[in-house]
């Protein structure tokens, strides 16, 4: 099914409008979240999926519309530098809400459709994996290459200059796309090398005002 985006306005009115559509449709809903093999195993062993598993703002579980969207969000959230240079394997959790559950969750304010900054769902609660209808899917993503990786992992966090001068490479790396952090700018290769070398990857906002934990155990919330 397809829902048309609503014009910006009162959040309560937007939520009510979307909720009313679902009450009328009683549609089955599938939501997806992607993890590395190791992180997926940890979640399975814990038996729960919570907002804490996705990092700040620690208020909801973000769910994507498709497995591919879920993987793309995970790469962007964790910077995922390995995906630029090699094929990566992902475990995607598929959670299915029955029509009755969709209506019930909307009425209780637990489920919200969002269109910005990305399209998807927010579930304001925890999932007991023994009490939800779920399926684990495997997804293999071919090597992205540096340009595609940078667009997905860096563009939302750093300022892009199409004809910049890399502060890391120096000579020979002028007039290339760079991503700026504070007073320095770096090309995609330098950023990728930096994140690979970090044992605990952290993505820093361009103005230095906030650090977002991008380790295996906490993903920046991309939805």
Domain layout of the chain by residue ranges: 29-141, 146-203
Number of Cβ within a 10 Å radius of residue 152:
18
pTM of the entire predicted model: 0.69
pLDDT at 25 over 60: no
Q: Which of 10-24, 46-60, 165-179, 201-215 has the lowest mean pLDDT?
A: 201-215
Phi, psi of 130 (to 5 degrees): -85, -15
pLDDT in tens, 119-159: 899 999 999 999 999 999 999 989 999 999 998 888 878 88
CB 72 within 8 A of CB 144: no
Round to whole Å and give the CA distance between 60 and 3.
Answer: 21
DSSP 5-70: PPPS--HHHHHHHHHHHHHHH---EEEEEEE-HHHHHHHHHHTEE-GGGG-TT-S-EEEBSSHHHH
pLDDT in tens, 69-95: 999 888 877 777 888 888 989 999 999
């Amino acid at each position: 099914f397809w829902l048309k985006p609503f014009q910006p306005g009162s959040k309560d009115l937007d939520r009510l409008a979307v909720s009313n559509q679902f009450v009328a449709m009683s549609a089955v809903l599938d939501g997806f979240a992607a993890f590395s093999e190791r992180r997926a195993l940890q979640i399975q062993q814990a038996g729960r999926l919570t907002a804490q598993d996705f990092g700040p703002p620690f208020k909801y579980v973000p769910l994507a519309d498709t497995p591919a969207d879920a993987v793309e969000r995970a790469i962007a959230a964790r910077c995922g530098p390995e995906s630029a240079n090699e094929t990566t394997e992902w475990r995607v959790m598929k959670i299915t809400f029955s029509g009755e559950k969709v209506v019930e969750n909307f009425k209780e304010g637990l489920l919200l459709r969002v269109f910005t900054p990305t399209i998807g769902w927010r579930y304001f609660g925890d999932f007991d994996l023994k009490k939800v209808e779920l399926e684990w899917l495997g997804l293999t993503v071919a090597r992205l290459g540096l340009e595609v990786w940078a667009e997905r992992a860096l563009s939302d966090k750093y300022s892009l200059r199409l004809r910049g001068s890399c502060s890391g490479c120096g000579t020979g790396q002028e007039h290339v796309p760079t991503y700026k952090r504070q007073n320095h700018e770096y090309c995609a290769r330098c950023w990728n090398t930096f994140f690979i070398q970090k044992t605990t990857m952290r993505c820093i906002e361009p103005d230095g005002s906030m650090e977002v934990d991008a380790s295996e155990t906490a993903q920046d919330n991309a939805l």
